[in-house]
Amino acid sequence: MKKIIQRHAKLLLICGSAIIFSGSALAGKTHLTMGMVLEPPHLDPTAGAAAAIDEVVYANVFEGLTRINQNAEVLPALAESWNISSDGLTYTFNLRSGVRFHDGSAFDSSDVVFSLDRARSENSTNAQKALFAAIADVNAQGSNTVVVTLNTPTGNFLFNMGWGDAVIVDSASANSNKSKPVGTGPFIFKRWVKGDRIELGQNTNYWGEKPALKSATFKIIPDPAAAVAALMAGDADAFANFPAPEMAAQFQSDSRFTVKVGSTEGETILSTNNLQKPFDDLRVRQAIAHAINSQEIIDGAMFGFGTPIGTHFAPHHAAYVDLTGTYPHDPGKAKQLLTEAGFPNGFKATIKLPPPSYARRGGEIVAAQLAKVGIKLEIIPVQWAQWLDQVFKNKDFDLTIVSHTEPMDIGIYTRPKYYFQYRNAGFNAIIDDLNVTADPKKRYALMGAAQAILAKDAVNGFLFQLAKLGIWNKNITGLWENSPVQANDLTGVSWNN
Amino acid sequence: MNESMLSEFWRNSLHHRSFVIGLILSFIMLFTGLLSLFWTPFPVELLDIPHKLESPSAKHWLGTDHFGRDVFSMLMVGAWNSMLVSVFAIGFGSLIGVPLGALAAAKRGWVEETVMRFNDFAFAFPALLTAVMLSAVYGPGTINSVLAIGIFNIPVFARITRGSALSIYKREFILAARTAGKGEFQIAVEHIFPNIVSVLIVQVTIQFALGILAEAGLSYLGLGTQPPIPSWGKMLSEAQTMMFFAPQLAILPGLAIVLTVLGLNLLGDGLRDILDPRLSRVR
């Protein structure tokens, strides 16, 4: 009997100490595992359009002259302060001193000149060259000052400089950033296990206030069911963009988790190959717009999370114009337009769907809606890499569904070689005008006109604005609730008890 | 098979419990699948999103899925699809595998070596691997899953045909047929095949069950039947994230797969017992 008591006492002691240890471990927790659905193709934000790149490295590994916070405000980053000339053409950036890149080399004005010149050069591989289009000249004045001269006043130049595509890189490491990113941020790239995870560690030489987190792991979990399991089991602490909206209610009622529904810049569209027959016919595109029922897609694919849109513009933006009524859901009208276009019995086409559930499920619903007016879609599910290659790069598609998560990206419609291949000189003129207009009122008017043209031309099927469904452990604070830019900024994240 | 043999077969069969259960389960599946061609409670391509995720009711007997589709109708059509894929795949596999095996047994020597080593090679590739390869090259789809499962079945049938045929070739009546001047092909068709057909029937039944399972597996992984055509495997994978609030969406197609495979396996086991003359005497 005594023996048994002794044994039990020992057990109790072990249990007790285990509880104490786990408690103290929680108090001092400085590691975060963030789950993400899509794996970045590489890790150089200055050389790729994939949002997943910025979602790992923005603000964590790389920094720009300015940075954007979760409320879309422009804050100083590598530029401590700046002066703008009265004509709006000259920006003088005062750089922070004592900043070092992760490989130990010092940051100074030459790095800024190098980075901006590289991004705007003729053979630049930057995915957002438009951000730098207004720059006429970049000059270093001493090691801590850079003067940027613009061709035309650009209202959101400071915001542009806060994008992931405008981060400052070191000339020595610029070419190897894809596999081994070297920036100035508070986290250092540790390693990338392809197909599984990306690990970041602490930058002990960081110039600014060191984040509470000492390390972070971005875990690639493409399967929604696995994402649910990973959160439930604690294998992932957070999902900034949770892929299974049907589980939101379940997590909401679970006291272990915080569920935040925020806004993103993600216009989810039924991208249409505007040069491909029969989609080059405006009546066919209008018919598709009439055949689509956005609300049904939001309810069916996103379980209600999302806002219908009528054009390529984020509804929470002040310049947004509600154009959802341009081509209201009306299958009868759609059929009539198809008949006028020469397809009284409809036609067959394909729709290529990338992995995210908004695309796969949304695609099934779109196919059912279009089938009702006679357009028979063959559904072709593709992997992310295949999508980037076949659809985005080689434009080998009829229809696809994807979310464009860049902020203020209406300018993509001016690019004739962009994957949906829209060409409209009138639209381009408005955007050109917009780029040289600084007066907010005039800018809003131009943005409104641009939105109206896209809606009228039914360039793509405008489905809905992607909601940001963030789910994370309730002890985590500081994660972004909205995504004004593509990012998982971990600098303000901490564990509390 | 003459009339008295047939009646003896049925008498034996009806006393074989697992055969009867297997037959009933398989018949239910066949009937449901066939029925789906003419009638389903609701059209399966009809999305009714306002009525999504409903529990079973008088209107929707097994409830609705996340798109408001009628689960019972989807299961019915899914049964037909599984069967169709399996029939074509097993047909493909046996039509190539059986002649190959017969050829190996008849010719022996280097022909047999070549055929059987090729079979070993094909056998080393699981259906899943073949399907992944095919879908990487040609994209996922029903035809590719038929091919993948079919290719996997070639060596299965070649092996069993060769093995059983070899034992028949040793028998005296084959020698008699040769002496009578019959050619190799004639012997194979008239004497070998009738004697191994019962073994093949049993194998077809068992492979058919495996085919159903493989089809479900491939569709689950998104390599098989593509939406909007419902399939059991796809229903399972779609239901995964809804397990917590709509478990029936995963349980029902799972149950359909289990019962079908169980039925076909019982049927195959029963057939083997009944058709094997040595075993039937014991029972």
| pLDDT tens, position by position, A29-70 | 899 999 999 899 999 999 988 899 999 999 999 999 999 998
Which of A436, A461, A434, A462 has its CA nearest to residue A450? A434
- Chain A CB contacts of B244 under 8 Å are 228, 247, 250
Contacts of A123 (CB under 8 A, 6+ apart): none
Pairing of strands A90-95, A461-473: unpaired
Expressed in angstroms, the distance from the first to the final Cα of chain A is 41
Q: Which residue of A has its CA nearest to B230?
A: A364
Among A242, A251, A298, A299, the strongest candidate for a mutation testing the B interface, having the largest count of B CBs within 10 A, is A299
Q: List the one residue out of B182, B72, A371 whose CA is nearest residue A363.
A: A371
Phi and psi at residue A399, to the nearest 5°? -135, 155
CB contact under 8 A, B47 and A365: yes
Residue-averaged pLDDT of chain A: 90
- Calculate helix-pair angle for B71-107, B232-239, nearest 10 degrees: 130
Q: What is the pLDDT of residue A11?
A: 47
3-state secondary structure of A105: coil
Q: Please enumerate in sequence order all residues whose Cβ is within 8 A of that of A35, keeping only pairs 6 or more positions apart, or say none.
A: A218, A219, A221, A227, A230, A231, A236, A238, A239
- Residue B242, chain A, CB below 8 Å: the answer is yes
Alpha-carbon span A464 to A152, nearest angstrom: 34
Residues of B with Cβ-Cβ distance to A224 under 8 angstroms: 240-241
At B263 the pLDDT is 95
Pairing of strands A307-308, A461-473: antiparallel
CB A182 within 8 A of CB A165: no
- Interface touch B245/A250, C-beta < 8 Å: yes
Reported as a single tens digit per residue, the pLDDT across A464-476 is 999 999 999 999 9
User: Are the beta carbons of A466 and A306 closer than 8 angstroms?
Assistant: yes
Other C-beta atoms within 10 Å of B283: how many? 9
- Judge contact between A217 and A31, C-beta under 8 A: yes
Determine whether the interchain pair B139/A380 forms a contact, defined as Cβ–Cβ distance below 8 Å: yes
Residues of B in contact with A254 (CB under 8 A): none
On whether the CB atoms of residues A351 and A363 are closer than 8 A, the answer is: yes
Is B75:B258 a contact under the CB 8 Å cutoff? no
Determine which of A246, A358, A382, A384 to mutate to test the interface with B (most B C-beta atoms within 10 Å): A246
Please list, in sequence order, all residues whose beta carbon lies within 8 angstroms of the beta carbon of residue A100, skipping any fewer than 6 positions away. A106, A107, A184, A205, A207
Write down the pLDDT at residue B283: 40
Q: Interface of chain A against chain B, CB under 8 Å?
A: 224-225, 228, 244, 246-247, 249-250, 296, 299-300, 361, 364-365, 367-368, 371, 379-381
To the nearest whole percent, how much of chain A has pLDDT over 90?
A: 78
Gap between the Cα atoms of A487 and A60, Å rounded: 9
Q: Check: CB of residue A485 under 8 Å from CB of residue A466.
A: no
User: Within an 8 Å CB–CB cutoff, is residue B233 touching chain A?
Assistant: no
Question: Is residue A13 scored above 50 in pLDDT?
Answer: no
How many other CB atoms are there within 10 angstroms of residue B80's CB atom?
A: 21
User: Rounded to an integer, what distance in angstroms lies between the CA atom of residue B222 and that of residue B180?
Assistant: 56
pLDDT over 90 at A455, yes or no: yes
Q: How confident is the model at residue A88 (pLDDT cuts 50, 70, 90)?
A: confident
Question: What residue of B is the nearest CA neighbor of A352?
Answer: B139
Q: How far is A494 from chain B (nearest CA, A)?
A: 29
On whether the CB atoms of residues A397 and A352 are closer than 8 A, the answer is: yes
Q: Which of A300, A371, A379 sits opposite B67 (nearest CB)?
A: A300
When pLDDT is averaged across residues A378-399 and rounded to a whole number, the result is: 92
Q: Looking only at Cα atoms, what is the longest distance across chain B?
A: 77
CB-based contact, B52 to chain A, within 8 Å = yes
Cβ distance of A364 and B67 shorter than 8 Å: yes
Cα nearest neighbour of A371 on chain B: B45
Of B50, B140, B244, the CB nearest to A381: B140
Residues of B in contact with A296 (CB under 8 A): 47, 49
Max CA pair span of chain A: 94
Inter-chain CB proximity A296 and B47 less than 8 Å: yes
Q: Is B43 on the interface with A (CB under 8 A)?
A: no
Q: What is the mean pLDDT of residues A260-279?
A: 94
B139 contact residues in A (CB cutoff 8 A): 380
Measured between beta carbons, which residues in chain B are less than 8 angstroms from residue A356? none
Residues of A in contact with B233 (CB under 8 A): none
B228–chain A Cβ distance below 8 A for any pair: yes
Q: How far apart are CA A231 and CA A228, in angstroms?
A: 5
Chain B nearest-CA distance from A397, in A, is 14
Question: B67 contacts in A (CB within 8 Å)?
Answer: 300, 361, 364-365, 368
Structure tokens given for A178: 């894809």
Chain B residues in contact with A244 (beta carbon < 8 A): 241
At residue A463's C-alpha, the angle toward residues A459 and A464, to 5°, is: 130
Q: Which residues are within 8 A (CB) of B5 and not within 5 positions of it... i.e. 6 or more apart?
A: none
How far apart CA B224 and CA B142 sit, in angstroms, is 5
The answer to whether the CB atoms of B47 and A225 lie below 8 A apart is no
How far are the Cα atoms of A65, A400, B66 from residue A364, in angstroms, in the given order?
43, 11, 12
Q: Cβ separation of B227 and A364 shorter than 8 Å?
A: yes
CA distance A298 to chain B (A): 10
**CA proximity to A212, closest of A29, A473, A475:** A29
Question: A67 - beta bridge partners?
Answer: A75
Chain B CB contacts of A381 below 8 Å: 140, 222, 226
Q: What's phi and psi for B41, nearest 5 deg?
A: -55, -40
Q: By the CB < 8 Å criterion, does B49 face chain A? A: yes
DSSP tally for chain B: helices H, then strands E: 12, 0
Stretch (H or E) spanning A472: strand A461-473
Residues of A in contact with B46 (CB under 8 A): 368
Cα of B31 to nearest chain A Cα, Å: 28
Quote the minimal CA–CA distance from B218 to chain A in Å: 14
Q: Which of residues 59-78 of B touch A (CB under 8 A)?
A: 66-68
Distances (CA, A) of B219 to A71, A276, B145, B237: 43, 31, 9, 8
Residues B219 and B253: beta-carbon distance below 8 Å: no
- Looking at beta carbons, which residues of chain A come within 8 Å of B241? 224-225, 228, 244, 246-247
Test A300 with B245 for CB contact under 8 angstroms: no
Supply φ then ψ for residue A405, to 5 degrees.
Answer: -95, 5
Per-residue pLDDT in tens (0 to 9) along chain B, 283 residues: 566 777 877 777 788 888 999 999 999 999 999 999 999 999 988 888 898 888 899 899 999 999 999 999 999 999 999 999 999 999 999 999 999 999 999 888 898 899 899 888 888 877 778 878 887 788 788 888 899 899 889 999 999 999 999 999 988 998 899 899 888 888 988 889 888 988 999 999 999 999 999 999 999 988 888 888 999 999 999 998 898 889 999 999 999 999 999 999 999 988 888 877 655 444 4
Helix, strand or coil, per DSSP, at residue A476: strand
**pLDDT for B2:** 62
Count of C-beta atoms within a 10 Å radius of residue B279? 11
Q: Select from B47, B66, B145, B229 the residue whose CB has the most chain A CBs within 10 Å, as the one to mutate to test that interface.
A: B47
Number of H helices, E strands in chain A: 13, 19
Under 8 Å between Cβ of A440 and A225? no
DSSP state of B188: I
A453: pLDDT strictly greater than 90: yes
Contact A64, A163 (CB under 8 A): yes
Distance of CA B21 to the CA centre of its chain: 17
Provide the pLDDT for residue B1.
52
Q: Residue A185 above 60 pLDDT?
A: yes
pLDDT at B278 (0 to 100): 59
Does pLDDT of A16 surpass 60? no
Chain A and chain B share a number of CB contacts under 8 A equal to 55
Helix (H) or strand (E) holding A270: strand A257-272
